[in-house]
Structure 1
Amino acid sequence: MTTQSTDPSRRRMLQLALALPAATAFASQASATTSALSIPPATKDVTPFKVSVPRSAIDDLRRRLKNTRWPEKETVSDWSQGVPLHKTKALISYWAEKYDWRKFEKRINAYPQFRTEIDGLGIHFIHVKSKHENALPIILTHGWPGSVVEFLKVIEPLTNPTEHGGTAEDAFHVVIPSQPGFGFSDKPASEGWTVVRTANAWATLMKRLGYDKWVAQGGDWGSGVTHALGHIRPEGLVAAHVNWPLVFPEKFPDNPTPEEKAAMDAVARFASDQFGYFKEQATRPQTIGYALADSPVGQATWIYEKFQAWTDNRGEPEDALTVDEMLDDISLYWFTDTAASSARIYWENARNGGGFDAGRIELPMAATIFPKEIYRAPKAWAEAHWPNLFYWNEVDKGGHFAAFEQPNLFAQEMRKAFKSIR
């Protein structure tokens, strides 16, 4: 045994024999995953990018959808147990038989897209420059279960305001990145991508694009990144706007104002009735990732439920967004296989002290409050956290996905908010 193990030729034969099954398994795996989306590696160069999902991936999705094993009908007549069975079947039938991903590809590819490596990770972003002189650069950051899809409808109103009710002085250069682990950005292979790290990456991106004066905007986890930018205050960032202010008092008041009571009640409802997804993704993102990565129906309903709960609607998500718009976002998660990697944003920030209170920020800050937000922060709470609050407005329609739901109103708010910053 000793002689055989130390003989170079015998050892090499053993290594080859052991390697053969692995090589065979790898070949089989490669054959089985030909439908996977392939994204070229990023470098520090800003490299043009186009979305192109293989036909085999689309066929695989439809096959999976048609082979769905359904659970029984819910025992209630509303959404209190989750997405009703009849709503799910209608959504999945449309996705399998009528939805056209190629239409979305054509739409997003009409805008300049790029990838560049920042802090070891390939970052995808849309970058549309305005034709108007002195346009103000703005970086727009999405959250979960959103994506760059949320902002497609605001690109034209922001970059070309003269065609959308504004003036040349209202113009923006628009940068819309995919967060790490989302969409066509790379998936982190190690821990550490908190909102602070992402904010630093955005600062690098804006500098790499040549912008020496810019503003930031975000909602959901994009709001978290934008608050982090407010703390960091990188060179060039002059102001920021959020549609979900992360501001809370150290202790809820004993005698709240009507606005404070409404916010406190909304937080309590969220914690008691809607916090399950948050806890799962903050503690076991890998486990939920297995379920969603293997089941397009699971992935769809995991997101569709939030479009119902968090939009300004009359009971159905289709009151706020079209089925195609929702499936554009859902399909982006499916084709990029980002269920687990996107869920880790909760895990990363929960482990690193992330919460719903972002603390005091000295950077000039602004906010627009939409009526169907998860909770509506009172202005007094923002004033206590933001000594340089320069714009605050409460509008009459829209929800958590502000730019997605109300693109024209969102664009108007950006113009009003940053008018004094130009």
Structure 2
Amino acid sequence: MTHHPPLIAVTDAELDELRSRLLHTRWPTPWPVDGWEAGTDPGELRRLVTHWASAYDWRVHEAAINALPSHYADIGGTPVHYLRFDGEHPGALPIVLTNGWPSSFLELTALARRLATPSRYGGDPADAFTVIVPSLPGFTFSPQRPSLTEPPQTHEIWHRLMHHELGFARYGAHGGDLGAGITSRLAEAHPEAVVGIHLTAVAGPPAYDAAGVTPEERAYLDSVAGWSAEEGAYMHQQSTRPLTLSYGLADSPTGLLAWIVEKYRAWSDCGGDLSSRFSDDFLLTQASLYWFTHSISTSFQPYYAYARRLTRRVERVDVPTAVALFPADLSRPPRSWAERTYHVTRYTLMPRGGHFAAHEEPGLLADDLTEFFRAHR
């Protein structure tokens, strides 16, 4: 029997250093504003930092991460970490799931288990998928891209992983946020292999006649512009001057936690109460993964690469596409807008959930994926 080294083995010295940094946080001078109005709420952040430094038990979560079905593949010289959940049915359709930012592969595990073993959740074994969950380049356990001048395209790495490395002639794909863009480009580039895609966000058309925009589409575009003005500073910074931001977040676990926790609150269906959707341990494990793998800086690379046009734009996707939109997510484009870029065969407005749907509502998401791909097995 082959024994693989653990995926992550944080030393006691690293844990002690993290606790010391947390306990010696140099807090900013308080502002005369309430709650989350000007950014991460100081009271909530202090509470989480105290928990991270004292009650939070990394070893419990480290053991759980190491128990996951992890593998590595060398894709043209690029090492890629991925999880593989084999379907309980021999004819299980392969599917690749791709997360966004500030997420990680860990956020997709509840969804992956539901898809691989539906009978455990009251489903039909015939609906099982064999689920592949790769870590994005620069996120957690996949090293950053080797070049920023000619970066390997993530969707091509995914195709080589699924088709050449794992031997899947035909497969499905799902993604949200950054993962939706990667999934879209994958389907556009390899329609012969991708049977269908399932998205929680869509790419806009590369060009359109403003005079032909419907009132519903105009309202959507106005809402996107309003959201970008109020909430989009992180994206602008990560797209233009990511390194300047990286120094502080790589050095301060409190700063790192503040940067990502604000997003978990603002983009989820939590009604302003983080704890209604995310446990403290979930949030701190996500932050710990970024911290111990030293990957917050490299997780910004997709934004910078896209802004510099080093990543291909989506033009037209002709494979069958399902769009599932969650009410608290960043945007909910009308079906007609999605159809400008995609061959939309299923369009679902979800009753609840947000940007982190795979964690917030894995049952709703798994059911929608299952219904859509039934016709493409």
Mapped to 2, the partners of 1:242 and 1:141 lie a distance apart of 10
**Maintained 8 Å contact 1:48/1:114:** no
Post-superposition Cα deviations, 1:97-126, rounded to whole Å, max 9, x if no partner, equal 111222222222222101122132211111
Match of 1:421 in 2: 376
**How many correspondences in the alignment?**
372
Which residue of the partner structure matches residue 367 of structure 1?
323
Q: In the alignment, which of 349, 355, 358 is matched to residue 403 of structure 1?
A: 358
Whole-angstrom distance in 2 between the partners of 1:86 and 1:343 = 27
Aligned to 1:209: 166
Q: TM-score, normalization: structure 1?
A: 0.84
Residue in 2 that maps onto 1:220:
177
Tell me which residue corresponds to 1:143.
100
Q: Which residue pairs with 1:329 in the alignment? A: 286
Q: Secondary structure at the match of 1:222?
A: helix
Check whether the contact 2:88–2:125 (CA below 8 A) recurs between aligned residues: no
Q: CA deviation at 1:169?
A: 1.5
Cα pair 1:170 1:419 within 8 Å, conserved: yes
Shift in Å at residue 57 of structure 1? Answer: 1.4
Q: Is the 8 A contact 2:149 2:310 kept in 1?
A: no
TM-score by length of 2: 0.93
Separation in 2, partners of 1:271, 1:367: 22
Distance in 2 between residues matched to 1:193 and 1:246, nearest whole Å: 23
- Ranges in structure 1 where 5+ consecutive residues have no aligned partner: 1-46
Q: Relative contact order (C-alpha < 8 Å, sep 6+): which is higher?
A: 2
Out of 239, 242, 250, the residue aligned to residue 208 of structure 2 is 250
Taking structure 1 as reference, are residues 307 and 229 closer, same or farther at Cα in structure 2, changes over 3 Å only? same
Distance 2:85 2:158 in 1: 16
What secondary structure sits across from 2:60 in the alignment? helix
**What is the correspondence of 1:177-196 to structure 2 with a 5 Å cutoff?**
177-192=134-149
Amino acid at match of 1:374: L
**In the aligned structure 1, how far is the partner of 2:149 from the partner of 2:170?**
28
1:155, distance to aligned residue in structure 2 (A): 2.3
**Structure 2 unpaired stretches of 5+:** none
Counterpart amino acid of 2:84?
A: H
The offset of 1:130, in angstroms, is 1.6
C-alpha change, 1:344 and 1:139, in structure 2 (3 Å) is same
Tell me the amino acid that sits aligned with residue 77 of structure 1. Answer: D
Cα separation, partners in 2 of 1:221 and 1:134, compared to 1, 3 Å? same
SS at match of 1:91: helix
Listed as ranges, the matches of 1:343-354 within 5 Å are: 343-352=300-309
Question: Based on CA coordinates, which of the two structures has the bigger radius of gyration?
Answer: 1
Contact 2:353–2:361 under 8 Å retained in 1? yes
Shift of 1:88: 0.9
Query: Contact (CA 8 Å) 1:49, 1:115: kept in 2 or not?
Result: no
Q: How far does residue 367 in structure 1 lie from its aligned partner after superposition?
A: 1.1
Q: CA deviation at 1:236?
A: 2.5
Letter in 2 for 1:361: V
- In structure 2, relative to structure 1, the CA distance for the partners of 1:371 and 1:252 (3 Å cut) is farther
Report the counterpart of residue 52 of structure 2 in structure 1. Answer: 95
Q: How many angstroms apart in 1 are the aligned matches of 2:256 and 2:185?
A: 29
Residue 80 (structure 1) shift: 2.4
Contact 1:148 1:177 in 2 (8 A): yes
8 A contact 1:149–1:328 mirrored in 2: no
The answer to whether the Cα contact below 8 Å between 1:180 and 1:193 also exists between their aligned partners in 2 is no
Tell me the residue number matched to 2:22: 65
User: Is the 1:233–1:363 Cα contact (8 Å) retained in structure 2?
Assistant: no
Q: Which amino acid aligns with 1:408?
A: G
- Measured in 1, the distance between the counterparts of 2:356 and 2:254 equals 22
Q: In the alignment, does 2:34 pair up with 1:77?
A: yes
Q: Distance in 2 between matches of 1:255 and 1:366?
A: 22
Q: Distance in 2 between matches of 1:113 and 1:255?
A: 46
What is the deviation of 1:410?
A: 1.2
Aligned CA RMSD, in angstroms, stands at 2.0
Moved more, 263-272 or 212-221: 263-272
> Are 2:334 and 1:381 aligned?
no
Partner of 1:231: 188
Q: Which residue of 1 aligns with 2:83?
A: 126
- Distance, in Å, in 2 between the alignment partners of 1:301 and 1:110 is 29
Kept in 1, the 8 Å contact 2:268–2:353? The answer is yes
